[in-house]
Amino acid sequence: MPAKVREVSLNAPTARMKLAPRTKPYYRRVSGDLHLGYYRARTRGAAGTWIARRYLGDGQYETDALGTADDDKAKPADGIAILDFDQAVKAAEAWRRAKLAEENAEKAGAVVVTIRAAVETYIATRKAKDAAAGRDAELRLTHHVLAAPLAAVDLLALTDGDLSRWRDGLRRGGRGVKADAAPLAPATEARLLNDLRAALTAAARKAKAPADLLTIIAEGMRAPQNHNQAREKQNLVDADVRKLVEAATAHDADFGALVLVLAATGARMGQVARITVADFQPEARRVMVPASKKGTGQKQITHKAVPLPDDVIARLRPLAAGRAGHESLLMRWHHRQVRGDKATGTLPTWERVERRPWTGGDEMTRPWRAAVAAAKLPAGLVPYCLRHSSIVRGLRAGLPVSLVAKVHDTSVAMIEKHYGAWIVDAAEELLRRAVVPMAPAAVASIRRA
């Protein structure tokens, strides 16, 4: 066991200046086998030096000089060469993790667990459990983590500074995004941080990392403020919904069918993509929408019956004609690029390969923008506006909140939380039917002949 250390105050320069100069540093325990030391300079007015020490066993210690203390007011801490107490503690912890990483690498045959390896393992695990959710996490992590310098960092040597620099560089956009691009939306950043925290925590526990590394991961992956704040509800009038459907159909028939079903059912993209030919029941004038995969556990109700108007049924009938019941109702063409020929001046082209089901919202991005522009609607519209509009439509029609929640596969609490204003409007219309005038009723006079 490491020797007991007589604790001294090292937090403030004034307290350190009161210590008597001596040949050995003053130490205080940081955590476990790690101590932070301070060597008091013998020269009057000279700044002291920070020392890190860890216990190796059998009475043996390993030490390392971390940097100069911020004893001189004229030379404030810069976090690199001159450190204050908190910076010295973090530097000591980082040094300890680096040493542990070296030892683990030697034991494992010089194999270092990097952030990249931790993330790739996590992606494979997520995809094995749920292909769609795993692919969604893969897109975020590949762009924002695996393409960043953070990916090359040794997990056991990770510092809060590494995570802070990475978070400061998060921006919207695809590859080659500029530094002055807009930052990620709070909700998007929260999902990314949640995935990365799970990946790093799993890898750290598997490597039996020290508790302080788990703390750094947890603190560095805290979600931004207001990340639960929902996007402003984009509610469209019925005429604008029809414009979107028509514009989407004009752009591409397959995409038009997808937008049509999203608008008619108010379901999420993940639900609509899983509708099969058997789920479409034109004789009953409805479609059985699969339950969402949100939440945990096995859901007792696997499908929700959603009525369809006659015009929607007529447009969907050709999609189901002559096809097996287990096949996806909504399909799209998958394309591949054909190389051009410089010798002949032929440009690269795209050719159709096969028809596949829709898999995720990312496949809607380009055609959706084109449809919104063609319909001359605001550029900021998102596909979720079709779901918002469907919910508001039901509330304004005076349907019970419980029924609106049920058909849209959500809870009454969520409807009340996010659509309270429309519930009030709908309730007011119902209450007006029960309004009774308070003025005396006019009495009609009867003339006698």
- The reply to whether 449 falls in a domain is no
CA nearest neighbour of 415 among 402, 424, 425: 402
Strands across the sheet containing 82-83 = 26-31, 34-39, 49-57, 60-69, 82-83
What integer pLDDT is reported at residue 50 of this predicted model?
Answer: 92
Q: Are 388 and 275 found together in one domain?
A: yes
Residue 3 within a domain: no
Same domain, yes or no, for 70 and 172? no
What's at 292, amino acid-wise? Answer: S
Q: Please tell me whether residues 361 and 256 are part of one structural domain.
A: yes
Same-domain status, 299 and 333: yes
> Angle, to 10 degrees, between the axis of helix 85-107 and the axis of helix 211-220?
120
CATH number at residue 40: 3.30.160
Domain tally, the chain: 3
- Tokens matching residue 289: 């929408």
Q: In this structure, are 52 and 124 located in the same domain?
A: no
When pLDDT is averaged across residues 313-317 and rounded to a whole number, the result is 95
Q: Do residues 84 and 161 both lie within one domain?
A: no
Residues 103 and 119 both lie in one domain: no
Q: Is residue 216 a part of any domain in this protein?
A: yes
pLDDT band at residue 302 under the 50/70/90 scheme: confident
Q: Are 183 and 128 in contact (CB under 8 A)?
A: no
* Span of 8-17, 104-113, 433-442 with lowest mean pLDDT: 104-113
* Residue-level pLDDT at 235: 87
5 domain-assigned: no
Average pLDDT, the chain: 85
Taking only the tens place, the pLDDT of each residue in 13-52 is 888 888 888 888 898 888 778 899 999 888 877 889 999 9
Distances in Å between the Cα of 294 and the Cα atoms of 291, 385, 406 are: 9, 19, 14
Query: Is the pLDDT confidence value at 76 over 60?
Result: yes
Same domain, residue pair 66 and 212:
no
Q: Is residue 4 situated within a structural domain? A: no
**pLDDT value at position 5?**
64
| Residue with tokens 């596909």, as numbered in its chain | 383
Tell me how long the chain is: 449
Q: Which of 84, 107, 130 is the last residue of a domain?
A: 107
**Residues 390, 258 share a domain:** yes
Using alpha carbons only, give the angle 106, 111, 114 rounded to the nearest 5 degrees: 125
Least confident interval from 135-139, 402-406, 407-411: 135-139
Q: Give the SS3 label for residue 199.
A: helix
Q: In which band, very low, low, confident or very high, does the pLDDT at 299 lie, cut at 50, 70 and 90?
A: low
- C-alpha–C-alpha distance, residues 70 and 14, integer Å: 10
pLDDT tens-digit readout, 244-280: 999 999 999 999 999 999 999 999 998 999 999 999 9
Q: Judging by beta carbons within 10 Å of its beta carbon (0-12, 13-18, 19+), is residue 124 exposed, middle or buried?
A: exposed
Instruction: Specify if 386 maps to a domain.
Output: yes
pLDDT at position 110 is 47
pLDDT, position 340: 78
Same domain assignment for residues 147 and 248: no
| pLDDT tens digits, 204-248 | 888 878 777 888 899 888 888 765 555 567 889 999 999 999 999
Question: Is this structure's pTM higher than 0.75?
Answer: no
Per-residue pLDDT tens for 162-202? 888 898 888 876 555 555 667 787 888 888 999 999 999 99
Statement to judge: residues 121 and 209 lie in one domain: yes
Picking from 60, 84, 107, the residue at the C-terminal end of a domain is: 107
Same domain, 319 and 424: yes
pLDDT tens, residue by residue, 81-120: 899 999 999 888 888 887 877 776 665 554 568 899 999 9
Most confident of 7-11, 264-268, 376-380: 264-268
Q: What is the CATH number of the domain that holds 316?
A: 1.10.443.10
Distance CA 312, CA 439 (A): 49
Report if residue 446 sits inside a domain: no
The pLDDT score that the predictor gives to residue 290 is 92
Domain containing residue 286:
238-432
Domain assignment of residue 254, yes or no: yes
pLDDT of residue 370: 95
